[in-house]
Structure 1
Amino acid sequence: MNSIAIVGAGLGGLACARVLQLHGLDVILFEQETSAGARPQGGTLDMHGDTGQVALRTAGLHDRFRALARPEGQQMRALDPLSAEVVMDEIPAEGDEFRPEIDRGQLRGLLLDSLKPGTVRWGRSVAEVAPGALTFTDGTTEDFDLVVGADGAWSRVRQALTGVRPEYSGVTFIEFGLDDADRRHPDLAALTGQGTMVTKVGGQALFAQRNSNGHIRCYAVFYAPEEWPAGIDFADTAAVRANLLERYAGWHPELLGFLRDLDGGFTPRPLYVLPVPHAWTHTPGLTLLGDAAHLMPPLGVGANLALLDGTELATALATAPSVGEAVRAYEAGMLPRSIETAKACATGLHDLLSDDLRSMAA
């Protein structure tokens, strides 16, 4: 078998490369960003015992994952939006490590450090994709036995395979955060607890999630037009804050403190999803994993599935008689699983914004 190309240095692509190298296979990972630290990597992830942790065991990284993971982050709290009273507080039992939390950046760093030097070629942006071939923005073309699209929501590899683009879900997340929260924002830290806090009513919610190093990452979540907010510059933090405080008017003042006391600015994250089902006819020389294959609402499963996709594809490539047979076997398992999960997530997104305070992201 000649070399395999993976486009995208996210969790799934890195996990795939790691397992391929464990089996002695050649792999090159192309990433358009210029370095591992080119941008922040997002918030915290819960690694599920039956998916993400299975993948990390396959990659030989589970012990290193456990050293970084936060089992206490499994705590789930629900607060009444009008009174700020705690209506649910699920604290993990001692020894419960089925869904511990870890910062996405820490997990990505763990995977990157596990690869041979030079595996990731940074600053290599793909312009065109064909079965078994990549053309880059500098005009060069390279050929491979297999091109794996691990390049996320707006995947170029997907465009060559299915031509399907994500659609707006109707829900927008506005991300913001609190630094050194226990010292600088003790009241908000107490409301958050050690894991995730949610409060919601009337089709809108506030989430707060513990990350490492005292950081709390927060999200305002609501139904909105795709172009929301018309006429507001997100660089104008005061204007965005005023808009959100008006939207959440009537909520308890302590909860509105998350919006008033943020450190830094607000980042809009409108949610895009792939249609369900999203599948394709097997095409020699191309396949997809992670968000490139099955972009879903962020309800705690995307990173887990990406890791599992990556390690399952790599294992198939290492054990099947040919690349084609390996990819067929991988797709035969991945596609039905992702379709069923995507159906559940589509329902879960609307449950997330229901008035049922016990219905929370998982």
Structure 2
Amino acid sequence: MTPDVTIIGAGLAGLTLARVLHVHGIPATVYEAEASPMARAQGGMLDIHDYNGRLALRAAGLTDEFRSLVLEGRQATRILDRDGTVLFEEADDGTGGRPEVQRGELRRILLDSLPAGTVRWGHKVSGVRPVGGGRHEVAFADGTVVVTSLLVGADGAWSRIRPLLSDAVPEYTGRSFVETYLFDSDTRHPAASKAVGGGSLFALAPGKGIQAHRERGDTLHTYVALTEPRDWFAAIDFTDATAAAARISREFDGWAPELTALITDSDTPLVPRPLYALPIGHRWDRVPGVTLLGDAAHLAAPNGEGANLAMYDGAELGRALAAHPGDTEAALAEYEQAMFPRGAEAAAEGAQLHELLFGADTPHGLLDVFTEDEQTP
């Protein structure tokens, strides 16, 4: 029998699962707390990797739609010293394996690929409990209740489904990003625009850094990294945009003005983004009728793999369910057996990447990586 598949969360993981199930003729319902697809901004640029994210999109039958979203030239990379000196520059020659797209646009093609009514908006989970036989009851804040034979938590870092499987909770990594945007940068912020170049910028020092992407058009989206406790950020009044920008920029005194302008000239209020992670190697014993995808399963500090892994998780679970009709538990066991080491490896590599970016040897460790990549045939 085909299970009734209930997916919590309409992010990239949950939508990819729903789409791959649809491709295989398996219906699913996605419940999302947000009121609509436009309820909030969906983040910035994503580099979609040829070994996981693009494989997931292929399984979803959306390769052509994905290609239409790719922003040409955005794989270009620059590493600048704090005085603005270019330490490394790599152009986008079109042969790289990590084409860049906007997260919101990627989410849109997934939503558009699903039958009408698949996603139920405005359904915030208020409680969940097992009801026997591998079935679970999910209660929503609006008073509705569903009972399902297959419950999938694709609801991110603070998953309401995870406690059915694990006692693990995300912990603060000791580092936060502060997000800024500069719009119409070529005309309104020419120095910062020139510094960022056509793709990604890294300007790094031990414990801190300025990382920026050129998004669609000439929008510059910046993540300022600072290794400070939560209380340090809590002491800043981010509702006072000017004061917050001045306080954050003080951590970069003496840096080139075209770099600090990415902070002080922000066209939007600065937004703190504390970074949390689950323990590396997070896993659980098989529990009938429930599993997790993406950040709900293996949240890690940002490392370029999160969205890719989320989509790949969704595609792999969808294919496993299609390959084991009538045996949901076999499908879940197969999926989890492969997902656990995959998530652990990515999280470990991400921790190493953050050491390269913000450790005592930065930016030289990162430069070595790019130089080795260039020399590798």
Residue identity matched to 1:301: E
TM-score by length of 1: 0.96
Partner of 1:228: 232
- Equivalence map 1:327-342=2 (5 Å): 327-342=332-347
Partner of 1:246: 250
Q: Displacement, 1:358?
A: 5.6
Q: Counterparts of 2:96 and 2:149 in 1: how far apart (Å)?
A: 39
Residue number among 193, 199, 202 corresponding to 1:198 in the alignment: 202
Percent identity of the aligned residues? 44
Partner of 1:9: 10
Residue number among 353, 356, 363 corresponding to 1:348 in the alignment: 353
Q: Counterparts of 2:258 and 2:34 in 1: how far apart (Å)?
A: 39
- Equivalence map 1:52-201=2 (5 Å): 52-81=53-82, 83-93=83-93, 95-131=94-130, 132-201=136-205
Q: Counterparts of 1:334 and 1:120 in 2: how far apart (Å)?
A: 25
Say what the alpha-carbon RMSD is for the aligned residues: 1.5
Task: Mark the runs of 5 or more structure 1 residues left unpaired by the alignment.
Answer: none
- Equivalence map 1:204-353=2 (5 Å): 204-321=208-325, 322-353=327-358
Q: Counterparts of 2:171 and 2:181 in 1: how far apart (Å)?
A: 27
- Mapped contact 1:27–1:119 kept (Cα < 8 A): yes
Task: Mark the runs of 5 or more structure 2 residues left unpaired by the alignment.
Answer: 131-135, 371-377
Q: Counterparts of 1:243 and 1:40 in 2: how far apart (Å)?
A: 25
TM-score by length of 2: 0.92
Residue identity matched to 2:179: E
**Relative to 1, partners in 2 of residues 1:80 and 1:22: Cα closer, same or farther, differing over 3 Å?**
same
Q: Counterparts of 2:230 and 2:109 in 1: how far apart (Å)?
A: 35
Q: Counterparts of 2:156 and 2:238 in 1: how far apart (Å)?
A: 24
SS of 2:222's equivalent in the other structure is strand
Q: Counterparts of 2:251 and 2:365 in 1: how far apart (Å)?
A: 23
Partner of 2:133: none
Q: Counterparts of 1:342 and 1:7 in 2: how far apart (Å)?
A: 23
Q: Counterparts of 1:284 and 1:126 in 2: how far apart (Å)?
A: 20
Q: Counterparts of 1:145 and 1:253 in 2: how far apart (Å)?
A: 57
SS of 1:229's equivalent in the other structure is helix
Q: Displacement, 1:349?
A: 1.6
Q: Displacement, 1:172?
A: 0.8
Following TM superposition, the consecutive aligned residue runs of length 4 or more in structure 1 with deviations greater than 3 angstroms are: none
Once the two structures are overlaid, the 10-residue window that deviates more, 169-178 or 339-348, is 339-348
SS of 1:344's equivalent in the other structure is helix
Alignment deviations for residues 27-49 of structure 1 (CA, whole Å, 9 cap, x no partner): 00000000000000011000001
Residue identity matched to 1:84: G
**Relative to 1, partners in 2 of residues 1:105 and 1:357: Cα closer, same or farther, differing over 3 Å?**
farther
Alignment deviations for residues 143-201 of structure 1 (CA, whole Å, 9 cap, x no partner): 11200000000000012221211000001100011112122212211111111101111
What count of residue pairs does the alignment treat as equivalent?
A: 360
Residue identity matched to 1:343: A
Q: Displacement, 1:329?
A: 0.5
SS of 1:29's equivalent in the other structure is strand
